Amino acid sequence: MALRATPTIAVCLAAGAAAGLALARPADSVPAASANPPAAGAGLDAEAQPNVSTSSTGAITIEGFDFSGTAAAAPGSEIVVTNRDGAAHTLTASDGAFDTGSLGQDATASIVMPTTPGTYEYICSIHPSMSAAITVG
């Protein structure tokens, strides 16, 4: 079974890498181990190359109507947000600095941290009782 590079796969890979998780693949697509693994994106043409930031510093998971994960990030860094709940959620900065939009179950989105250091409070705009904060600095 051949795997195609798609934006969804790229986001999932980035989320897994940010969370330090190994992602499983079907047994028939696992290549033999190599002493010289291919460079990231090898074998993809320029148009299929996903635009994944190398400055990704963390991940936030929404589960059990709660936020968990990265509590501090570098200015301008990327955070991958994953919704593990059955209900749709958002991760929306109280001051509008970032917003994932509505995420269904198992959906992911990336947000970019502001370049101005500080503590940024965020909520789920669908369930405002869900709140947390991230410190940029």
Q: Look at the alpha carbons of 46, 51, 55, 60 in this order and tell me if their dihedral is positive or negative.
A: negative
pLDDT of 57: 75
For the stretch 68-120, pLDDT in tens is 999 999 999 999 999 999 999 999 999 999 999 999 999 999 999 999 999 99
Mean pLDDT in residue range 40-60: 51
- CATH 3.40.50.1370 for the 56-136 domain, yes or no: no
Where do the structural domains in the chain lie, given as residue ranges? 56-136
Residues 6+ apart with CB under 8 A from 24: none
**pTM of the entire structure?**
0.60
pLDDT at 130 over 60: yes
As a whole number of Å, the end-to-end CA separation of the chain is 44
Nearest residue to 136 (alpha-carbon basis) of 105, 111, 106 = 111
